[in-house]
Amino acid sequence: MMNESMNVIMAGRIKRRRRFIFVTSSLALIAVALCCTMLMLGNTIYPVSDVVRVLLGEQVKGASFAVETIRFPRMVAGVFAGFAFGVGGHVFQTMLRNPLANPNVIGITAGSSAAAVFCIIVLQTSNAVVSIASIVGGLATVLIIFFLSKGSSFSIGRLILIGIGIQAMLNAVISYLLLIGQEHDIPTAMRWLSGSLNGAKVEELYPLMLAVLFFTPILIVFGKRLEMLELGEQAATSLGVDTNKTRLVLIISSVLMISLATAATGPIAFISFLAGPIAKRLVGAGFSSLIPAGLVGIILVLASDLIGQFAFVARYPVGVITGILGAPYLIYLLIRMNRKGDL
């Protein structure tokens, strides 16, 4: 009898592992296919052979400038920003055990945006300073939210409500800055706020790339503790998890990645909100959805950018398309949670 039970358990683990490998591999292949499509498509469509030759350092008439200067930086920005938004959103949603507890909804992205817009419009600083301000703004916002929501005991619902209030306040600050800004600074700020891959430069993406490469292994290592936090404070503590230390590492890693992604591309709407739930639904229980969430983030950003560039007569920034995709899901989620009594 015990052998039969063990066989059933082992069979279940093998099935879940196969599903995880299949889903992760499929998402990676889709992401690679979208990367190739972004390098090929444009005002002129170049064959794969020309793109490969350019990437290998050959000079191909017409293709070299388009691929190296415009399409490749745009693709790199989409990959690293999408991954950062996807992973960061998944960490917050899992850690706080609520799909609404993501950087877009609770105001962290708005904090980064407000700091960046202040630098663009009021201080008129360089892109490097905008990036630093975006990081500081994101970290300051998350500290304020957690401090205000602490009370006598930690409450996820209180944190979300305070975060939504902070987000509304910061959005008002952004609107005020746009009103008082110089006419020649407004287009730059608006283009940044819409969330766009336009004008991306590889050398400006180095901080984001380094952050993703540095913090992703840390988040993978803490992945098991993250899953235990999802069980609740008491359950995680009884399993030997130092909840305060774990939350600190997870928050700092995620906020830095999200803030740098926001500084590089602007606040691309709803990626951090959608990537985690989609990845969890695809992977199922038993395995961490961290990397799949990052891959889903990449797919959403690249696919939305392609749609915005080529599906309509006019060209739209990627943030406009992701906003159209994410807003209905947010409304659906709010209605469902209200019916269940979670709000």
pLDDT per residue as tens digits for the range 64-76: 888 888 899 999 9
Contacts of residue 25, Cβ cutoff 8 Å, sequence gap at least 6: none
Angle at 167 between CA 236 and CA 319, to 5 degrees: 100
Question: Which pLDDT score, from 0 to 100, does residue 199 have?
Answer: 79
CATH topology for 75-340?
ABC transporter involved in vitamin B12 uptake, BtuC (1.10.3470)
Buried-state track 304-341, b at ≥16 Cβ within 10 A, e below 16: bbbbbbeeeeeebbbbbbbbebbeeebeebeeeeeeee
What type of residue is 253? S
Instruction: Say yes or no to pLDDT of 111 above 60.
Output: yes
What are the structural domain ranges in the chain?
75-340
DSSP 253-284: HHHHHHHHHHHHH---TTHHHHHHHHHHHHH-
Confidence of residue 274 (pLDDT cuts 50, 70, 90): confident
- Evaluate if residue 343 carries a pLDDT over 60: no
pLDDT in tens, 207-217: 899 999 999 99
The contacts of residue 301 (CB under 8 Å, 6+ apart) are 78, 79, 81, 82, 85, 197, 268, 271, 318, 322
Rounded CA gap, 336 and 341, in Å? Answer: 9
- Whether the pLDDT of residue 276 is over 90: the answer is no
**More confident position, 145 or 342:** 145
> Averaged over 49-57, what is the pLDDT?
84
Q: What is the pLDDT of residues 162-203, one digit of tens each?
A: 888 888 898 898 888 888 877 777 877 777 787 888 878 888
> Rounded to the nearest 10 degrees, what angle do helices 290-310 and 271-283 cross at?
120
Residue in this structure with the two tokens 């706020």, named with its chain if needed: 193
Range scoring the smallest mean pLDDT among 22-31, 41-50, 234-243, 290-299: 234-243
Q: pTM of the entire structure?
A: 0.88
